[in-house]
Amino acid sequence: KAGVTQTPRYLIKTRGQQVTLSCSPISGHRSVSWYQQTPGQGLQFLFEYFSETQRNKGNFPGRFSGRQFSNSRSEMNVSTLELGDSALYLCASSLEDNSPLHFGNGTRLTVT
């Protein structure tokens, strides 16, 4: 079974631009979550989607948004990029509630 796939692996953007990251969950998994990983803050929850509905959102500004499609694939968007948005963005999928998260290898975003 293929794991969680995130594209692209690396991105370099300029302040003020926007970016879209993509995630394909494990087949059959309906829950998709996004996390931001930085050396200073560790793994921070961004949001979680289940069957196209956002069920939970972390403490991030409105510049961070996401969506989930009917095939469970998900995208997250960051608008008006700031230098502090440089991070590894991780997508994780799970089969259902109370199931473990399975992470992709992330998208490394660098904002210059």
Partner 1 sequence: QQQVKQSPQSLIVQKGGISIINCAYENTAFDYFPWYQQFPGKGPALLIAIRPDVSEKKEGRFTISFNKSAKQFSLHIMDSQPGDSATYFCAAKGGFNKFYFGSGTKLNVKP
Q: Which of residues 51-80 bind partner 1 (CB under 8 A)?
A: 55-56, 58
Our CB check for partner 1 shows the closer of 45 and 79 to be 45
Query: What track of x and - describes contact with partner 1 for positions 80 through 109 (by CB under 8 A)?
Result: ----------x-x-x--xx-xxxxxxx---
Site size toward partner 1 (CB under 8 A) is 24
Query: What track of x and - describes contact with partner 1 for positions 16 through 55 (by CB under 8 A)?
Result: ---------------x-x-x------xx-x--x-x----x
Contact, 62 vs 54, CB < 8 A?
Answer: no
Across 56-80, b (16+ Cβ under 10 Å) vs e yields eeeebeeebbbebeeebbbbbebee
Phi first, then psi: give them for residue 40, nearest 5 degrees: -80, -40
